[in-house]
Structure 1
Amino acid sequence: MPSRFQSFDDPADPAATRPRLAALRAELARHGLDGVVVPRADRYQNEYVPPADERLAWLTGFTGSAGTAVVLADRAVLFVDGRYTLQAAEQVDPALFEIAHLTETPPSDWIEASLPAGARLGYDPWLHTVRGAEKLAAACEAAGGTLVPLAGNPIDAVWTDRPAPPLGPVVMHDTRHAGEPALDKLARLREALRGARLHALVVSDPHAVAWLFNIRGSDVAHTPLPLATAVVPVDGRAALYVDPRKVGPAVREALAGLADLPDPDAFETDLARLAASGAAVRIDDATGADAIARIVRDAGGKVSRGADPIALMKAVKNATEIDGARAAHRRDGVALVRFLAWLDGAAAGGTLTEIDAVEALEQFRADTGQLEDVSFPSIAGAGPNGAIVHYRVTRRTNRRLGPGELFLIDSGAQYVDGTTDVTRTVAIGPPTDEMRDRFTRVLKGHVAVARAVFPDGTTGAQLDSFARMFLWSAGLDFDHGTGHGIGSYLSVHEGPARISKLGTTPLSRGMILSDEPGYYRTGAYGIRIENLLLVTEAPAVAGAEKPLNAFETLTLAPIDLRLVAPALMSADEIAWLDAYHERVRETLSPDLDPSTRDWLAHATRPVAAFAGVTT
């Protein structure tokens, strides 16, 4: 059955990028500009953006979720991170765009080294954060050039068939799923603003808007977001700026007790009026557009840069959201087991393709009767495609699952009570010794994070090396973070907490994060094992001198024992795997048909039963 939620169409013909690049350069010259910065962003800094905001993809052909291009009169470069280096090389014409590593050579460094003296580099202040704009300005100044804020985006001027903005209806997110009334959230937020001596907060992130007002929408793919902005003063009513065409009478009535609903066109005028009184206005460093800070400063207000307090409130799930997450993962686990059992049989024939697998998994999830959407386009990589970290299968790249290969399937679901994200790597036929070695090292890192016990105040950066140490000991690594936060029927990638080298936010009880170490051998295979973890209170530890936290694994799906090399595992690691599999089996078996139940029993048998080891 074809997918309802994702397309497998090939990206635009790379040949189309040449005239588009030429048109952009002509538009820049018309405005006296020597170049422009083109981020993959919308005015809200969303991970998934509506088609009307896919400017980077339109210009370059690159369809990844993170990247930036800098276009000068005679050079153009696309910056992507380690997840996308292989994808960018396949999608982008190297005669038009150089490809650079986003972290090894940041755009600001390239601009400082490459921008001609006296050059005027344009940028759209709605598509860059305040911090991002400052870095660009400093780089231009160091190069002897000038960063120029633009009133209009030059790509929009030459993108003749640009799609219309989305108009997904706003719906209320019931308190039986949200767990806290919006009025209570607003009260908590105002208390936080008073404590920080602020007069108002600009809520620029639609995820925060959705959480705060208990609303959801459908303006972007895979995340139930209404594209909207809000201003919350410490005293007085909040203002929610959302296209009135999205708000039906019942929702308007429900929101009337929470906020005013002015027309979005009034946002700049209203914010300038607030700022003119000298108000201290918080703008989120992570998502607040530079344009918002300019409005406040130009009106005489004080820009308070820092974290939106909502981000941390949203990250710590309440009891209702936690119960919903557990229910969603049990439901999702049944679908995953049905899929994995089906895959074992279907792949043996040698005709199954990546698209076949994606469509089948979506159907198994749809069979639950509660699937709202996939939480991101499924990553289904057979053989060498699995080595492309954020691979997206298209009809051109679609590959059969061949014997002797690995198949990596990273997918997730949006249910109204929870968001899921899970990765499994499956052996198609007998794996090689190298595959089993690499898989087991990844598994050991996964288990090390899952079993971690850590004191209050511990950050994701402190746990990140747990996932890598067994790869490091063999001279191996992976070029992405170990884990990210997860929303509650919101974004599958939620800040501010993460398990990564850059994870500086302390992990608090109630947060949900992914645990997904991997290994990728270019041109051969990819391995990733991902479960979602809930931060909980650790069991009592004798003599402990401070509060301790631990993780509860939420994801329920077997890990392929055919890829495990027991000789590389410790007794404690084997015991963890056996206990996890026992829990998967006991939790999900009652909801499975007899044949799938038998398959699961075999897939979750104790390690000693197939390896001849004792624990």
Structure 2
Amino acid sequence: MDSIAVIRNFMVENGLCYLLVNSTNEFLVEYNTLEENSRYKLTGFSGSTGEALVTPDKIYLFVDGRYHIQADNEVDHEKVTVVKLQTGQKYLDELVNLIPENENLGIFAKKNSQKKYEILSKKRQIKLLKFDPIDSKNIPNYEDKNVKIDIKYTGLSVDEKISKISSKLSENEAFYVTDLDEVSYLFNMRNFSQKFSAKIRAKALIFKDKFELFTQGNLSKLEQILKEINKKVYVDKNSINAYDFELLKNKACEIKENPIAEMKAQKNDAELSHLIDAFNRTDKAVSATRDYIYENDNLSEYDIAKYLEDQFKAQGAIGLSFNSIVAKDKNSALAHYSKSSKDEIVKDGSLVLIDCGGYFEGGLATDITRVFVKGEPSNLHKKIYTTVLKAFLNAYNYAKIHLKRPLIGYDVAKSAHEFFDSQDVDGFVFNHGLGHGIGINVHEYPPNLSIGELAKVEIKNGMCFSIEPGLYREGYFGVRLENSCYFKDNDIHSFVHMNYEKKLIDFEMLTEQEKLWLENFEVK
């Protein structure tokens, strides 16, 4: 029986007309394996994010601007309707609009955060479901691959980190840590056995005078402990799933600001030093790949992606921080194109976009995007590339132009959108956020640079983030230029120092200030 039939039978058995099917697992991870991704099994869409709503007669797939084209290419449109969310549009609002007020919506308790459950409960009748019928039954145990990260990379010991939390607790209080990034950070541990991930699969309880770490081997004990615990338990409703929250019942107490998320986001000098070194090696891997493209003919996207991965390994990378994007010509218009093809051959005049990153011994992700052209670029290549470069230079120097503090990610992103709106871009569009936080996961929060509510927070000292403006046009090509940066000493600094492609820059389009910014960047 296929996944659609299994889901529809499950809905009948549970008296449901509407069901939300997720891409994540019980740890609410962003980058889930396809084996554990029920939304992929249901729709065939392999993107990292995007949820599906099953109705009595349709399946709706909600995707943001990064995945509009990819979703269209991957789903069976006779079975799945793609809902293309626009910038600033919230998928939960669109989902609720498809459900009549008197109908209930089923959601899987282990695959939805308590925060999402509460938001939906205010709008429709929600039925919490204990299990997902198309979930993976045999999840590998990765516990024996957990590794400790040396303090020279972390800057703080496990005891030092945990004491910052436990010192604020009374004897009658505990902190339940459910976010995998936060657990990995607190315990200075990583696990590289899963592709594109460095996180350990674990949860933790922190008390006034002790802590307990629950890895895959003893996670089964946690359910009973949560039921029986006789303390006020602080939780982050954004990262605890609704199932665990229900186990705690009235013992759970929401924290308004997560202290671990703030600690993790504000990198110390040891972490920044490691990232500077890791990005230097990332630059070298991408530079070598650029030369490989320019010096060899008839390379496929697959050839380039394989060579790129080999260059990361040569630089000492333990693994890639996400599935590298190597996209030529019209494929580069897919912001998260991820299936580098053996049939897509780079010819003279081909544009190639590379978005990649790696994990090195310190266990923090790198992320960079560059665009190259084999041979001579077209005038349109140069116009779009230069427009994106201008957007990057203005965003990167935003803190110098605007001295008002605090620095807010929303404001930086808004200025980039306003810049693109003022340009003649020949039908190309900027349809994603300006940037994301970077840490153990290649996407970390805080900070965030977008025009959404999440970005209305301060970018604080030591926070690391990408600046990645882009322009895309389906059937043509896409250009995205991404530098990962950090905020320190009241200014934005770049981890990435790989130069831009001179032959793709129309210098007549640059202002004198932009030329100076570009010169200063390349001198560094």
Same fold (TM over 0.5): yes
Q: Which residue of 2 aligns with 1:361?
A: 308
Q: Which residue of 1 aligns with 2:61?
A: 78
Q: Which residue of 2 aligns with 1:409?
A: 354
Q: Which residue of 2 aligns with 1:243?
A: 216
Any conservation in 2 of the 1:382–1:401 contact (CA below 8 Å)? yes
Mark the CA change 1:113 to 1:207 in structure 2 (over 3 Å): closer, same or farther. Answer: closer
Offset of residue 26 of structure 1: 1.3
Q: Which residue of 2 aligns with 1:437?
A: 383
Any conservation in 2 of the 1:49–1:221 contact (CA below 8 Å)? no
* Larger mean Cα displacement after TM superposition, 58-67 or 565-574: 565-574
* Larger mean Cα displacement after TM superposition, 202-211 or 25-34: 25-34
Looking at structure 1, the residues matched to 97 and 276 of structure 2 have their Cα atoms a distance apart, in angstroms, of: 51
Looking at structure 2, the residues matched to 313 and 518 of structure 1 have their Cα atoms a distance apart, in angstroms, of: 30
Any conservation in 2 of the 1:36–1:72 contact (CA below 8 Å)? yes
> Would you say 1:379 and 2:361 are equivalent positions?
no
Q: Which residue of 2 aligns with 1:217?
A: 191
Looking at structure 1, the residues matched to 40 and 237 of structure 2 have their Cα atoms a distance apart, in angstroms, of: 25
Mark the CA change 1:105 to 1:121 in structure 2 (over 3 Å): closer, same or farther. Answer: same
Looking at structure 1, the residues matched to 126 and 419 of structure 2 have their Cα atoms a distance apart, in angstroms, of: 45
Q: Give the TM-score of the pair, scaled to structure 2.
A: 0.92
Looking at structure 1, the residues matched to 92 and 519 of structure 2 have their Cα atoms a distance apart, in angstroms, of: 49
Task: Tell me which of 39, 48, 69 is aligned to 2:31.
Answer: 48
Offset of residue 508 of structure 1: 1.1
Looking at structure 2, the residues matched to 470 and 115 of structure 1 have their Cα atoms a distance apart, in angstroms, of: 38
How many residues align? The count is 513
Q: Which residue of 2 aligns with 1:165?
A: 140
> Would you say 1:128 and 2:112 are equivalent positions?
yes
Q: Give the 5 Å matches for 1:158-557.
A: 163-168=138-143, 169-192=145-168, 199-218=173-192, 220-233=194-207, 235-244=208-217, 263-274=218-229, 276-277=230-231, 279=232, 281-297=233-249, 300-346=250-296, 349=297, 351-368=298-315, 370-395=316-341, 398-417=343-362, 418-453=364-399, 454-474=403-423, 476=425, 477-487=429-439, 490-502=440-452, 503-537=455-489, 549-557=490-498
**Per-residue deviation, residues 240-284 of structure 1 (Å, max 9, x unmatched):** 11123xxxxxxxxxxxxxxxxxx211212212222x44x1x2221
Q: Give the 5 Å matches for 1:24-103.
A: 24-102=7-85
Offset of residue 224 of structure 1: 1.1
Alignment gaps of 5+ in structure 1:
1-17, 141-145, 245-262, 538-548, 584-615
**Equivalent position amino acid for 2:279 in 1:** H
DSSP-derived class of the 1:520 partner: strand
Any conservation in 2 of the 1:70–1:107 contact (CA below 8 Å)? no
Q: Which residue of 2 aligns with 1:151?
A: 130
Looking at structure 1, the residues matched to 284 and 17 of structure 2 have their Cα atoms a distance apart, in angstroms, of: 56
Task: Tell me which of 492, 513, 521 is aligned to 1:572.
Answer: 513
Any conservation in 2 of the 1:192–1:309 contact (CA below 8 Å)? no
**Equivalent position amino acid for 2:473 in 1:** R
Mark the CA change 1:474 to 1:395 in structure 2 (over 3 Å): closer, same or farther. Answer: closer
Any conservation in 2 of the 1:283–1:305 contact (CA below 8 Å)? yes
**Equivalent position amino acid for 1:409 in 2:** I
DSSP-derived class of the 2:39 partner: helix
Mark the CA change 1:333 to 1:153 in structure 2 (over 3 Å): closer, same or farther. Answer: same
**Per-residue deviation, residues 520-576 of structure 1 (Å, max 9, x unmatched):** 011111101111112111xxxxxxxxxxx1111111212111111111112222122
Any conservation in 2 of the 1:444–1:467 contact (CA below 8 Å)? no
Any conservation in 2 of the 1:49–1:220 contact (CA below 8 Å)? no
**Equivalent position amino acid for 1:42 in 2:** N
**Equivalent position amino acid for 1:408 in 2:** L
Any conservation in 1 of the 2:110–2:130 contact (CA below 8 Å)? no
**Equivalent position amino acid for 1:452 in 2:** Y
Looking at structure 1, the residues matched to 172 and 113 of structure 2 have their Cα atoms a distance apart, in angstroms, of: 20
Any conservation in 1 of the 2:300–2:341 contact (CA below 8 Å)? no
Mark the CA change 1:176 to 1:71 in structure 2 (over 3 Å): closer, same or farther. Answer: same
Looking at structure 2, the residues matched to 132 and 504 of structure 1 have their Cα atoms a distance apart, in angstroms, of: 19
Any conservation in 2 of the 1:50–1:165 contact (CA below 8 Å)? no
Structure whose CA Rg is larger: 1
**Per-residue deviation, residues 364-402 of structure 1 (Å, max 9, x unmatched):** 22112x110011101111000000000012547x41123
Looking at structure 1, the residues matched to 417 and 355 of structure 2 have their Cα atoms a distance apart, in angstroms, of: 20
Offset of residue 360 of structure 1: 0.9
CA-atom RMSD in angstroms: 2.2
Offset of residue 94 of structure 1: 1.0
Offset of residue 92 of structure 1: 0.7
DSSP-derived class of the 2:26 partner: coil
**Equivalent position amino acid for 1:311 in 2:** A
Any conservation in 2 of the 1:76–1:97 contact (CA below 8 Å)? yes
Offset of residue 408 of structure 1: 0.6
* Larger mean Cα displacement after TM superposition, 183-192 or 98-107: 98-107
Any conservation in 2 of the 1:111–1:139 contact (CA below 8 Å)? no
Mark the CA change 1:51 to 1:114 in structure 2 (over 3 Å): closer, same or farther. Answer: closer
- Percent identity for Structure 1 against Structure 2: 27
Looking at structure 2, the residues matched to 102 and 81 of structure 1 have their Cα atoms a distance apart, in angstroms, of: 5
Q: Which residue of 1 aligns with 2:501?
A: 560
Mark the CA change 1:219 to 1:123 in structure 2 (over 3 Å): closer, same or farther. Answer: farther
DSSP-derived class of the 2:198 partner: coil
Mark the CA change 1:28 to 1:86 in structure 2 (over 3 Å): closer, same or farther. Answer: same
**Per-residue deviation, residues 337-358 of structure 1 (Å, max 9, x unmatched):** 2221221112xx2x11111111
**Equivalent position amino acid for 2:221 in 1:** A
Mark the CA change 1:81 to 1:166 in structure 2 (over 3 Å): closer, same or farther. Answer: farther
Any conservation in 2 of the 1:442–1:470 contact (CA below 8 Å)? no
Mark the CA change 1:106 to 1:325 in structure 2 (over 3 Å): closer, same or farther. Answer: closer
DSSP-derived class of the 1:155 partner: coil
DSSP-derived class of the 2:2 partner: helix
Looking at structure 2, the residues matched to 242 and 409 of structure 1 have their Cα atoms a distance apart, in angstroms, of: 36
DSSP-derived class of the 2:478 partner: strand
Any conservation in 2 of the 1:34–1:72 contact (CA below 8 Å)? yes
Offset of residue 83 of structure 1: 0.7
Looking at structure 2, the residues matched to 582 and 457 of structure 1 have their Cα atoms a distance apart, in angstroms, of: 28
DSSP-derived class of the 1:419 partner: coil
Looking at structure 2, the residues matched to 36 and 106 of structure 1 have their Cα atoms a distance apart, in angstroms, of: 18
> Would you say 1:23 and 2:6 are equivalent positions?
yes
Looking at structure 2, the residues matched to 111 and 357 of structure 1 have their Cα atoms a distance apart, in angstroms, of: 39
Mark the CA change 1:478 to 1:450 in structure 2 (over 3 Å): closer, same or farther. Answer: same
Any conservation in 2 of the 1:283–1:306 contact (CA below 8 Å)? no
Offset of residue 292 of structure 1: 2.2
**Per-residue deviation, residues 265-311 of structure 1 (Å, max 9, x unmatched):** 1212212222x44x1x22213212122221222xx314214342111
Any conservation in 2 of the 1:28–1:154 contact (CA below 8 Å)? no
Q: Give the TM-score of the pair, scaled to structure 1.
A: 0.79
